[in-house]
Structure 1
Amino acid sequence: MLDLAFSVRDLARTRFALSPLWEVVASVRVLKHPAEHSLYRPWSDEAGRRLAASGLDWGLLADLIPQPPLAIPVFIAPPPTTPVADLGLELAVLRSTPPDRVRSGLSGQRAPRSERIERLRSDPRRGLAELADVVEAYWDIALAPYWPRMRSLLEGDVLHRARLFAEYGAQQLLNDLGPGVTWDADTLYVGHHYARGSRQLGGRGLLLVPSVFVWPRVFSVITANWQPTLRYPPRGVATLWERRSSLPQALASVIGRSRARLLAELDMPASTSDLARRTAITAGGVSQHLAALRAAGLVEAHRSGRYVFYARTEAAEVLLTAADARCGEVKVPRSD
C-alpha cells in the first residue's frame, strides 16, 4: 500500500493531464504480453500485425518497458507539464533529458538491462534521439489511428471527475479513481504492487493522468525530480473495443446509409478492401465514400507499409456518440 499525504496546498495544486507518450509506454507493455491483457486483444492483434508489416525496429522501446518487478524508467515518459495532449511536445522533452538523468534512471536493482539500453546509457544524447524517432514511428503505426477514440474517452473521464469535484468536493473525486484507491483523513491510499510506505506530497500536488492501457492497475511516479503522479484507468475503457450492432439511423438520414455504415464499421481502423468485404459495397464505392468523408473531416488515412488504413476522427466520434444517445442504440462486444 502506498500512502500519499495531502496538505491544503497539495489539494489546491492537484490537476489532470493527458499523455500520449505514456500511452505509448503502457501500450508496449500490453503488446509485449497480449495473452495477459485480454481486454486489449482487438487492439493488440491489429497493431501487432501492422508493426510487423512495417518492419519498424522498436527493440529499444520494448527493452525499456520490462515486466515487474523491474521498473520503467521515469524519463521515458515523464509527467506532462501542461494539460495539452501533445506528443510532439513530450518528445521534445524526452530528447532534451539531461544525460545524468538518463544514467540515473538506468541504474539500480530494478532498472532494465540489455545491449540496446547499455548503448543508450553510454551515449544518452544519441540514444534519446533514436528512442524519440522510434516512439514517433510506433505512434503513427500502432496508436494514431485509435487516438481520436482514446482521447474522447480520456477527456470524458476528466469531465466526469470535474463534475464530481464540483458537486461533492475533492474527497469524492479522489475516492472514485478505482477500487484500489481510497481517500481518508487527508491521505490517499493506493493499492500498489511494488511501491509501499508513506509519502508527503510536499506542496507539489498530485497529477492525475487517465490512461487507456493501464487497466486494471494504477501506476505512480513518486520520485523527487517530478511532480507526484497517479496514472489510473478511465471509466468505460472496455467500450473502446465494442462494436455497433446496427446502423446509426439518425446519422444515416443526414449523411446517407452507406457513409453512416462505413463510419460505424470504423470502430477499428480498416482498409478499403476490409470495408468492402464487411459492407458488401464495391471497393470503388467504398473509396468514393471515404474520399467524401475524408473531405468532411470525418475520417483520416494512416499508411502502414504498403497498406492504407482509415480511422474515424474526433468529429466522427462526436457524431456517432450523439446518434447513439438519440436512438438508444444497443452495442455488443466485437467478435471478429
Structure 2
Amino acid sequence: MISFELGVEDLADTRFALSPLAEAVLSLRVLRDPGLSALHLPWRREALRTLEGPGGLDGADRELLAALVARRFTLPDFLTPRPEVFAPAFEEELAVVARTPPGEVRRDLLAAHAPDPAPAALAAAADGDDTAVARLRDRIRAVLAAYWELVIEPGWPRMRLVLEADMTYRARQLAVGGARSLFAGMHPDLRWRDGVLHIDRMIGRFHAAASGRGLLLVPSVFAHKPAPPVDPGAPPSLLYPSRGVATLWAPVPGPDRAALASLLGAPRARLLALLEEPRPTVELARRLGVTPSAVSQHLRVLYGAGLVARARDGRLVLYRRSDLGDRLLGDGRAGG
C-alpha cells in the first residue's frame, strides 16, 4: 500500500492536469492485453489495424513499444513525467523525456521489468554504456512520436473532452463535500481517512507526507487503476481512471433529418439537401415550388451561417453546399 498524508495546505493546493504522453504510454497496456479493458476493444482493433497496415510501424518499432510494458504491466517512470502545467502539449512532454539522463533511463527500464530481465529490444539498458542507453532513449522517443500521430492524436480531442468533464465533476465534489467526497467513487483501491489518502494493491509500499507540496490529480482514459509515483521522494500525485470512458468509443450517430429540419426550418433543410451540386436561384425555386425571392432569403441565411458557398457563372449566381453544410447533412464526401 502507498499512502499520502495531506494537510490543509496540501488540499488547498490540490490541482488537476492533463497528460497526453501518459495516455499514449498507458494505451500500450491495452494493446498488450485486450482483457485489461473491454471498453477499449473498439479502439484496440482500429489501432492494431493502423499500426500493422501500410504507413504504420515496422516490426522492430512495434516490438520496442511492446517491450515498454512489463509482464506485471508496470511502465518505465521516465515515460510519464509529471505535468508542470495544466495541459502540456504532447511534444512538450516528449521533450522532457529527451532530457532524461541515461542513468535514470537505465534504472527505470530495468526496474519496470524486475525481477524479470529486460526484453531483447531493451538490451542496451542492461548491457550498454551511457551512449547506447541515450540512443535507446532517443529511439523510444521517436517511436512514441510516430505512435501518437498514428493512433492517439486522431482521438485526442474526444479523449480530452472526457477528461475535462471528469475534472469538472471532481472539482465540484471537492468544493461541495471536501476530500472525502473527492475520493469517494474514484476507484475501489482509494480510501481517505484521517487526512491520509491510502492507495491499495500497489507493488511498492511507502508512506509520504505531502509537506506543503500539494497533490496533483491526473485523470486518464487508459488507466485501469490508480497510479501514484513509485519514488517516495517525488511530489505527491495520482493518475486515476477517468469517468465517462464507456461512451468514448461509441459510434457517432448519423444526422437526424427531422432534427435538422427543426434546427434550420423545413424550407432551409430541403434547400440545403438540393445543393449537392451548384444550382441557380431560379432552378431551386422551381424545384421547391416557391418564388425566387423566398429562395434568395433562405440562401442569404445559409450563406451567412457558412453552410453554402456561391460563385458567379456569367449572369447567374450558383450556390452549393459548403464543407460545413456537407458535414451537417451527413454527406460522406465531407471531412477529408
- Give the TM-score, by structure 1 length: 0.71
Structure 1 residues without counterparts, runs of 5 or longer? 261-288, 300-308, 312-336
Count how many residue pairs are aligned between Structure 1 and Structure 2: 270
Structure 2 residue matching 1:243: 3-state secondary structure: coil
Structure 2 residues without counterparts, runs of 5 or longer? 274-319
Residue pairs, 1:82-97, within 5 angstroms: 82-97=85-100
**What is the match of residue 62 of structure 2?**
58
**What is the match of residue 218 of structure 2?**
209
CA distance in 1, matches of 2:89, 2:325: 23
**What is the match of residue 161 of structure 1?**
170
Indicate if the aligned counterparts of 1:208 and 1:229 stay in contact, CA closer than 8 A: yes
Residue pairs, 1:85-234, within 5 angstroms: 85-108=88-111, 109-110=114-115, 113-120=118-125, 122=128, 123-215=132-224, 217-224=225-232, 226-234=234-242
Indicate if the aligned counterparts of 1:174 and 1:183 stay in contact, CA closer than 8 A: yes
- Percent of residue pairs bearing the same amino acid type: 38
Give the aligned residue type for 2:91. G
Indicate if the aligned counterparts of 2:2 and 2:202 stay in contact, CA closer than 8 A: no
Structure 2 residue matching 1:79: 3-state secondary structure: coil
CA-CA distance at 1:10 after TM superposition: 2.3
CA-CA distance at 1:196 after TM superposition: 3.3
CA-CA distance at 1:151 after TM superposition: 0.4
Q: Is 1:292 equivalent to 2:323 in the alignment?
A: yes
Give the aligned residue type for 1:229. S
CA-CA distance at 1:168 after TM superposition: 2.2
The 1:211/1:89 distance shift into structure 2, 3 A limit, reads: same
CA-CA distance at 1:20 after TM superposition: 0.7
Indicate if the aligned counterparts of 1:58 and 1:138 stay in contact, CA closer than 8 A: no
**What is the match of residue 83 of structure 2?**
80
Indicate if the aligned counterparts of 1:78 and 1:226 stay in contact, CA closer than 8 A: no
Farther-moved stretch of structure 1 (58-67 vs 84-93): 58-67
**What is the match of residue 71 of structure 2?**
67
The 1:149/1:196 distance shift into structure 2, 3 A limit, reads: same
- Specify the structure having the higher radius of gyration (Cα): 2
The 1:11/1:222 distance shift into structure 2, 3 A limit, reads: farther
CA-CA distance at 1:229 after TM superposition: 2.1
The 1:256/1:119 distance shift into structure 2, 3 A limit, reads: farther
CA distance in 2, matches of 1:99, 1:52: 30
**What is the match of residue 303 of structure 1?**
none
The 1:295/1:114 distance shift into structure 2, 3 A limit, reads: farther
Q: Is 1:42 equivalent to 2:46 in the alignment?
A: no
CA distance in 2, matches of 1:231, 1:180: 13
**What is the match of residue 9 of structure 1?**
9
CA distance in 2, matches of 1:144, 1:84: 14
CA distance in 2, matches of 1:256, 1:187: 58
Indicate if the aligned counterparts of 2:173 and 2:182 stay in contact, CA closer than 8 A: yes
CA distance in 1, matches of 2:208, 2:232: 11
Q: Deviations over 1:36-66 (max 9, x none)?
A: 4222111000111000013412322221121
Indicate if the aligned counterparts of 1:5 and 1:198 stay in contact, CA closer than 8 A: yes
CA-CA distance at 1:136 after TM superposition: 1.0
Structure 1 residue matching 2:214: 3-state secondary structure: coil
CA distance in 2, matches of 1:294, 1:195: 55
Indicate if the aligned counterparts of 1:66 and 1:112 stay in contact, CA closer than 8 A: no
Indicate if the aligned counterparts of 1:71 and 1:111 stay in contact, CA closer than 8 A: no
Structure 1 residue matching 2:251: 3-state secondary structure: strand
Q: Deviations over 1:220-274 (max 9, x none)?
A: 21415642221111111111122355645545745969x99xxxxxxxxxxxxxx
CA distance in 2, matches of 1:141, 1:177: 30
Give the aligned residue type for 2:19. S
CA-CA distance at 1:218 after TM superposition: 1.6
Indicate if the aligned counterparts of 1:73 and 1:111 stay in contact, CA closer than 8 A: no
- RMSD of Structure 2 on Structure 1 (CA): 3.3
Farther-moved stretch of structure 1 (163-172 vs 146-155): 163-172
The 1:197/1:98 distance shift into structure 2, 3 A limit, reads: closer
CA distance in 2, matches of 1:81, 1:111: 33
Give the aligned residue type for 2:90. L
Structure 1 residue matching 2:3: 3-state secondary structure: strand
The 1:6/1:142 distance shift into structure 2, 3 A limit, reads: same
Structure 1 residue matching 2:239: 3-state secondary structure: strand
The 1:229/1:192 distance shift into structure 2, 3 A limit, reads: farther
CA distance in 1, matches of 2:25, 2:335: 24
Give the aligned residue type for 2:146. A
Structure 1 residue matching 2:167: 3-state secondary structure: helix
Indicate if the aligned counterparts of 1:12 and 1:205 stay in contact, CA closer than 8 A: yes
Farther-moved stretch of structure 1 (21-30 vs 158-167): 158-167
